[in-house]
Structure 1
């Protein structure tokens, strides 16, 4: 399976590390509210970052607090479903349950301009 990526705010990831699971779905929405955790494949991440965290989307926030969680789907306990982001659109991976922190195999800072440092 391909690695899954999830873009999030660094402090949210640090909080999850302290409790053992990550339960944010997307910017400002929890797993409980959304029903799943939004993820991306590597080629999808730049557009997702621009849509959710681009200029003007987070007044007062700094880009340096964003991180990319690299998720090994084989370590997940919840199912992953590929579903369109909008009707007729491209399929995105969705995790239907909490993300165990040990399923995250790497954490990369999201760089301004749309890249993650390896």
Structure 2
């Protein structure tokens, strides 16, 4: 499994993460009980399915090694394995963040 995963966020969610130093999840994450992440080859489909047409989005790269055993690769969309985080993600696990251009 990859050592990096990605989270698509609104600019506001990213700003809140930076301000608090900890990400507890977007509304869908809180509802499902874990933080949804995507592997590099899953980001485009995740963006298309859940974020198409939205502006001011940020793609955050997360170092999964820093999250230890809170990460589980589980089957989701189409049976593909996705990284799910059962816990929070500290800001120091972020290795990059960039705006997503539509």
- Normalization by structure 2: what TM-score? 0.88
- Which ranges of 4 or more aligned residues in structure 1 deviate by more than 6 Å? none
CA RMSD of aligned residues (A): 1.7
Tell me which protein shows more helix as a share of its residues: 2
Give the unaligned 5+ runs of structure 2.
none
Aligned to 2:95: 105
Aligned to 2:45: 47
- Aligned pair partner of 1:90 in 75, 80, 102: 80
Aligned to 1:115: none
CA deviation map 1:71-109 (0-9, x unaligned): 0112225511111114x6111000110111110111011
Greater Rg over alpha carbons, structure: 1
Q: Which has the higher contact order (CA 8 A, sep 6+)?
A: 2
The alignment partner of 1:24 has SS state of coil
Aligned to 2:62: 71
1:53 and 1:45 map into 2 onto residues whose CA distance is 11
- Normalization by structure 1: what TM-score? 0.77
Q: How many residues align?
A: 101
